[in-house]
Amino acid sequence: MAAHCTKGHLTCGVLIAYGGKGLICLLMALISSLTLAVEKPITISCTSPRGLPDADYTAEVMAPVMKQHGFNLAFKTGQGPAVVEGLRQGKFDGDCGRIESFNEKTGLNLIRVEPAIRRVRFALWGFDVDFPLHQVSPDKLRVGYLATTQISPVLAAQMGFTNLHRYDSMGAMVAALLRGEINVMLNYQALVNGYNDQSKKMLYRLRHLVTFPVYIYLQPRYQFMVPDLSAAIVSRVKVKPYNPYPDKVIPPLSEGQIIFGCSVPKHSQAFFEMEQGYRRAFNKMGYGFQMLAMPRARESAELLGGEVDGTCARGNVSPYNDHESLLRIRMPVTKTQLKIYSRRPAKQVQDLGQLPEGATIAYVRGTQLAELILKRAPHIKPVGVNNAELGVKMLAGERVDYFIGFPAASDYVLNNLDIRKMLYVVSDLPPIFFYAYIHTRHKALREPLEQHFKAQIQAQGSNAFLPYLEEMLDVEARE
């Protein structure tokens, strides 16, 4: 008498109910069924390691789709030619994020999954936030870049930076910057964010150069997963777009609370920094604090109507300076500058007077500084729009030649819309200071708030919001 097993199935015909061969048969069937249940591995190359925001975000989108198709997602961190060769040989099943021209530049035949999953921002970075970029000719500026970032030398040449220095690692490039071997570094934001998370000496973005859409790439054999992956990207971006600075939970308000309106995008770094700085100040004075993100026009209406207690930041050209119900906190919380965006790389222009005759330029209505600057350039045609999103879309869609806007709003839009055009920053206009304003019913808080900011500057050598110590104290002295 014998036992008969069908390999790969759960059924087993046992002729001897409790014999040894019958037990072997049952074990073989069990092992076979477990083998079928194990997910197959799929290895995706990724420039960033897990733990950095861009890699984690992409993995969160990809992993459920891979699991749905019976795959266990694994990221393999790698850079440069080794990754390209691994993709060519089929060692990697895909790549977690590359710009649109990746196939063409490498000669690969990968499938690009659309839409873009996120955006990557290239910028010039340095330790000196006030480095006078505008005083140094691009070809004289000593610019460091990573050997593993293939687009860097191409982008640098397009922008007129020819004095380039190549480094094999972020550590080596940072050391060169500290030694004065280079003036600035060219890098993408996610990598700098990772550095800043681990370092006490912060790198600051000195000039935003260009924003690229980033796509997931797969080997052709995984074509069957593309529709589900595309749908997952669309769904995730609508619900929770890529944001390397997640919302901070606002603690319960104590008795006695201050509410500020703020037209800076809620997911931006500027919003996060200001909210944290104001909370520290008001908590020290015994108040709870909450900052509400809202469109500029609504914020103005709520502020002037007394529905909120103040505003996070308005420029020094603000008409609120003399408003009877508002008081300006006479210590600037930050400074920023309008930027001019274009679809084409160009040498930096210092003002709108250098733009071509008849050019069209979009701007956000209600931005007093932009309106003031545009009035001084009658040779170009201004096109008012309701928000930065519309202005960026019009530029990308070739409906206007340029867009002028503040980086906090423009960068947020560029980072969270499916903009497939490369958009370049061709001008950083002169900086302006921004101040907080409070309602006159809180006039007793004005001086303590100013003293808090001043003490913090003197103690730390920098403001909680941005490190402009000398200029802030100088502005205060002129008030």
Q: Please state, for a pLDDT cut of 70, what percent of the chain lies above it.
A: 78
Reply yes or no on whether the pLDDT at 468 is more than 50. no
Provide the pLDDT for residue 250: 31
Q: How many CB atoms lie within 10 A of CB 24?
A: 13
Name the amino acid, one letter, at 395. Answer: L
What is the pLDDT, as a whole number, of residue 26? Answer: 56
What's the distance, CA 382 to chain centroid? 28
Q: Which residues contact residue 118 at a Cβ distance below 8 angstroms, ignoring those fewer than 6 apart?
A: 54, 57, 58, 97, 214, 241, 242, 415
Q: What are phi and psi of 220, to 5 degrees?
A: -55, -30
pLDDT for residue 331: 80
Per-residue pLDDT reduced to its tens digit, 36-75: 445 799 999 998 788 777 888 999 999 999 999 999 999 9
Structure tokens at 36: 């079928």
Q: Identify which has the larger pLDDT, 281 or 132.
A: 281
Most confidently predicted of 26-35, 36-45, 361-370, 406-415: 361-370
Q: Judge whether residue 17 has pLDDT over 50.
A: no
Q: What is the mean pLDDT of residues 150-176?
A: 88
**Is the four-CA dihedral 419, 422, 426, 427 of positive or negative sign?**
positive
Directed axis angle between helix 469-478 and helix 446-460, to 10°? 140
Judge whether residue 214 has pLDDT over 70: yes
| 125 phi, psi to nearest 5 deg | -125, 155
> Could you tell me which residues come within 8 angstroms of residue 378 by beta carbon, excluding any fewer than 6 positions away?
none
218 close to 110: Cβ distance less than 8 angstroms: yes
Query: In a 10 Å sphere around its CB, with 0-12 CB exposed, 13-18 middle and 19+ buried, how is residue 136 labelled?
Result: middle
Q: Who has greater pLDDT, 248 or 449? A: 449
Most confident of 121-125, 270-274, 357-361, 432-436: 357-361
Angle, in degrees to the nearest 10, between helices 269-284 and 407-416: 130
Single out the residue of 157, 156, 177 nearest to residue 167, CA to CA: 177
Identify the CA nearest to 189 among candidates 208, 171, 163, 175: 208
Tokens of 298: 């609504």
pLDDT of residue 460: 56
Provide the pLDDT confidence category of residue 343 given band limits of 50, 70 and 90. confident
Distance CA 293, CA 268 (A): 11
pLDDT at res. 409: 75
Q: For 260-288, how does the pLDDT look when each residue is reduced to its tens digit (9 = 90+)?
A: 988 877 777 778 778 888 888 888 888 88
pLDDT value of position 10: 39
Query: Which pLDDT belongs to residue 355?
Result: 87
What is the structure's pLDDT at 317? 61
Tell me the C-alpha distance between 158 and 153, whole Å: 9
Quick one: pLDDT at residue 23? 58
Q: What are the tens digits of pLDDT across the range 303-332?
A: 876 778 899 888 766 666 667 788 888 887
DSSP string over 27-46: HHHHHHHHHHHSPEEEEEEE
Q: What pLDDT score does 478 carry?
A: 39
Helix (H, G, I), strand (E, B) or coil at 119: strand
- Which structure tokens are listed for 258? 């201050």
Please state the pTM of the whole predicted model.
0.48
Greatest mean pLDDT among 202-206, 233-237, 254-258, 276-280: 233-237
